[in-house]
Structure 1
């Protein structure tokens, strides 16, 4: 709503767009007072009367505020009157109503966008997550199919999560299979001496009074041998368990000094340990006790299989140290070469072998970032132990 009036120097309305204002006085209006004083005025002013309710097409009539512009009229630099123009600013409801097509279109586009985003979220996130939840439930139940990632993961992040869950499932399945096989082997290894002990005890209970002293001593020796075997098995199992959960620390060991000590300790009248090192000191990233256990198991393994000499060679490399342990025993056949690191595999059970020594060696080295392998050799068995290099120098 807009209008205009012309007033004289006394603020009486000379002409107006509103018929009822003619000859009326508007001297009380501050905009008129300022214009008659010679000022150009732009103000916001509240209407004199309360607006009556209007239809949607006349929503601006409901507004109580007006924008007023007053301009003085001058002749020969003397104010003779003023021109006042006003306009009611458009209200928010009227603005929305007049632009209803635009706002309706925007609202429709917004709702379409929300629907599209919801549909895409369901397609690329919701459904893959549901499949991933089903996948994790299969992992919980131990299903064999849980080792494969879900198909059509939708997003890269869900794909990574699915692959991680599949890898975890494969690791758990492998660990479970290992535990089952290990339990079977432990049961078998314990069953033999326990059966022997049980049978010997029954014989002693039934025939102790009629046995000669020599027979009693023979049966008691059998009991002692079986008990010692069980003791060795328990000790080896504890050692293997510690090796499986071992974590590398910050310790480093001078392998030349340690093997020099072991050479003195292990050399006897019927067994020789020879040591060859191109440097006087070389360090590996492994603690003294763990490295001693690795080398001791290799030397004991050689002794149990009839070797009389073990040659240990230290070979520093760029980022690692190779320790080659070779013996003069009967060697390892091609058929047994693939099984030497399996738990409870041994060909020297009658000499006290438990089949856990090389498994302990491999577990300790894996925990410290090292490795062990069986090398081909013309005589005896040759193992190569490789560990990360600490620091070494000639002195």
Structure 2
């Protein structure tokens, strides 16, 4: 009897451990997943019984939660960036509209002012021909205002004002091109125009000593959403400027440069390459560079949304974006777009 009881106790203990241990393993994994938010963890499936089915079901649940989390992050990032770009686009379009009217007024009236001044200068010349010996008071006045210098310099001043007005008008056009809203439909657009508009918007940062070298190939018009592609160019070039500025702070003899090249490949795709001679990106970071909310910038300087949104925009255009980078060698982003998206 005693031996039978001991055997029963031993069997019961072994059976309870055989049941409890797999359950404990599943429980521990569940707690670790919840604690670390690590959806790469998988519960070992060692049996084909109910415990094995439970472990398999739990692994499927982890996988689905991982997929839902990624979708949620992408949706969240899209909502944030869409709202951000919508607000920015409205603001830029409003500023462009407000600037456009006075600039057109100034530019248009400079031509008239120039003609009036030429008429007045001609009248003064005519007076001098008929009255070559004016009174001393007039001679003193001519000397005080430096009449000959004024005649020569005033047209130059008006010409400079005209150039300034034309430059402002160019900026306004670029702002409109950059911020124009799309109705969700693809339409024909010039990629070079979008890049140039982006560079004009970023000119206040580029003129701090950053050289831009453009090597444009002959490209056909692309069916695309222009404002969305401009957003991609803005994100990439802005990131390049950020990286170059950091190096410039440390090395005063450094010559920060951005190269932008375009070409059409034999397989009828357009390639846009944007390269810088910045510090480069570590291999581990480069593998995550397009993940939502991932950033290599310091706290407060980056949201980790720009490249993630750029990736999604290009996917929408049936294109792709790749990064090539080495520490100390700079970074290159390669954008590929089909001619007919």
Q: TM-score range by the shorter chain?
A: 0.3 to 0.5
**TM-score, with structure 1 as normaliser:** 0.38
Per residue, is there more helix in 1 or in 2?
Answer: 2
Higher relative contact order (CA 8 A, sep 6+): 2
Structure with larger Rg: 1
* Superposition TM-score, scaled by structure 2 size: 0.44
